[in-house]
Amino acid sequence: MKNNSSAVWKHPHNRQELLRSALLQSMGYTDIDISKPIIGIINTWGETNPGHLHFRNLAEGVKRGVWAAGGFPLEVNTLSICEVFFDLSSLIYRNLLAIETEELAARHPFDGIVLIGGCDKNVPAQLMAAVTVDKPTIFLPGGAMLPGSYKGETLCCGTDTFRLYNRYISGELTWEEMMSRAGCLYGSVGACPIMGTANTCQTVAEAMGMALPGSAACLGVSAEKMRFAEKTGRRIVEMVDENLCVHDIITPASVRNAIRVLMACGGSTNLLIHLKAIMHRAGFDIDLMEFDRISNDTPLLVNVKPHGENPVGAEFHNAGGVPAVMKELQDKLDLSCMTVTGKTVGENLLQFDYAYDRKVIRSKDDPISPVGGMCILKGNLAPNGCVIKRSAATERLMHHRGPAKVFDDLSVAEKWLADENSDVDENTVIVLRGYGPKGAPGMPEFGNYLPVPPKLHKKGIDDYLRVTDSRMSGGCFGSVILHVSPESEEGGPLAAVRDGDIIHVEADKNLIEVELSDEEIAERLRDFRPKGHPDIKRGFVRNFIDHVQQADQGCDLDYLTRAED
């Protein structure tokens, strides 16, 4: 279906033009305003999303820029997704937000689009919609939070909540001592100030060319962010005049650039799912093993939490942010990729310096690690692949062989892990299954919720191997193998694993396997029956269960992806 635009919508010289002009003038606009290009500002502001609470101000900055450049801004609001406020996995609602954004962008008479987003499901949803609609579009990253502080110690949101909770269940902190730090974990509104999924999404959007250079890591509550908002508003009017559309920017080459920056930053594993969904909307694909090859050819440069020491919103941005990382990697990037500036990546980088603080953004000659943040694994346990965040894992567990302890219920797993009398040891491989895209439903971030057993912590062991078909928060750390595909609900091999089966991982060989023959796996799966969620009979959640694709395909709905060109 052809997109709407202001020229089509106005219906010149008939009754519809009269009607539309009259309705716009009823809101106080003039016929001069109506003659300008209409810029849609699609805002994900909401009071159930602390990452986006400052977006009303950002939208006003964008409008100021649109007016100044000769455009006519009209703002609309959409669903705003924060994982904490949903009782189901918010990945379900990424797809709903993508549908909503697509319909608003395509069916309204917008000549150009400004997307304002910041948190983890909102950004990919907006980019999925943008590449589907393919109008002139620019993304304004909402920016990072300030870190918190407790008695001189810098604290950062989820990453430090995991550490604090582990200390609580191990008896090092009382409940009151832990909760006394709650008001010190988040220093302001904005995206959690770590290289979690939210800031990784914003970083990737900039690296892909969809946001103004330097805008991603900038603090959400800052004068600089408001200036970026105005610049974004000015630039979208120019993009409309240039007819610079999303498909000119989001290409296989620009996505490969984004993957390389993702690996250099030690970003969130969730981006594998989100990038797959964006690519499939654009009509192309990049194999998971190419993600692995790019990771192996990219040094880990950025020293930020959860794998490093520093917050994103202050230290990373002040060290040079995304442009400094891309400058360091420029010999590995496709510099010819077009960006929202109307210039190529290479032309943009001429305006930027190398990192200002080498403790935060290392040089490629002195990296944190010679390889990037992720490793893709395949084998008889995950025929379609799975991922481990190598930068947040323990190296000895990247080469591991141990007996499985299998759980189909997270609450049972948590209770067993916390039990001092359980037989868990450093060799045990915890398997949590049934929490994939269909199984949960929505593939929640339950990789986070398998804490270090107090029994191990007291022995000085603070990591162990976990395998799951669920996801993990980008702010989490530990040796967790995620996104096992196909999931157990689909009858994947994970459904065949039993207590005591030996699981073998060799990251350097991209291998994950259960030491069973193909025949034994098939025999065990012969009587497998998915749970199917008979209690969920209606609404978007039922639609999601019936149509969601697997993790290696991006977890989009099967009827929304575009056939490969």
The domain that contains 439 carries what CATH number? 3.50.30.80
Of 239, 212, 192, nearest in space to 322 by CA:
212
Instruction: Give the separation between CA 459 and CA 170, rounded to whole angstroms.
Output: 11
Q: Which of these ranges, 74-83, 278-287, 449-458, has the smallest mean pLDDT?
A: 449-458
Which region, left, alpha or beta, applies to residue 89 given φ > 0 means left and ψ of -120 to 50 means alpha? beta
Q: What is the pLDDT of residues 340-365, one digit of tens each?
A: 999 999 999 999 999 999 999 999 99
Beta bridge partners, 75, equal 41
Q: What is the pLDDT of residues 156-195, one digit of tens each?
A: 777 777 778 878 878 889 999 889 888 878 889 998 888 9
Range of 167's domain? 148-184
Q: Which of these ranges, 18-22, 163-167, 244-248, 471-475, has the smallest mean pLDDT?
A: 163-167
Instruction: Give the separation between CA 30 and CA 67, rounded to whole angstroms.
Output: 13
Instruction: Give the separation between CA 451 and CA 432, rounded to whole angstroms.
Output: 13
Residues 440 and 329 both lie in one domain: no
Q: What is the pLDDT of residues 269-288, one digit of tens each?
A: 999 999 999 999 999 999 99
Residues 489 and 500 both lie in one domain: yes
Backbone angles phi, psi at 117, to 5 degrees: -155, 170
The average pLDDT across 334-343 equals 98
Token output for 14: 């008939």
Band the pLDDT of 234: cuts 50, 70, 90. very high
Name the packing angle between helices 91-107 and 270-282 (round to 10°): 30
Domain boundary among 184, 203, 234: 184
The average pLDDT across 205-232 equals 97
Instruction: Give the separation between CA 354 and CA 379, rounded to whole angstroms.
Output: 40
Question: Is residue 332 over pLDDT 60?
Answer: yes
Residue whose entry in the numeric block shows the structure tokens 């690690």: 369
The average pLDDT across 297-313 equals 91
Token output for 340: 């929202």
Residue 563: predicted pLDDT: 47
Q: Where does 496-560 show beta strands of DSSP type E?
A: 502-506, 511-514
Question: Is residue 58 over pLDDT 90?
Answer: yes
Count of domains for the chain: 3
Residues 327 and 311 both lie in one domain: yes
Residues 79 and 227 both lie in one domain: yes
Residues 210 and 325 both lie in one domain: yes
Residues 381 and 494 both lie in one domain: yes
Q: Which of these ranges, 14-23, 96-105, 372-381, 546-555, has the smallest mean pLDDT?
A: 14-23
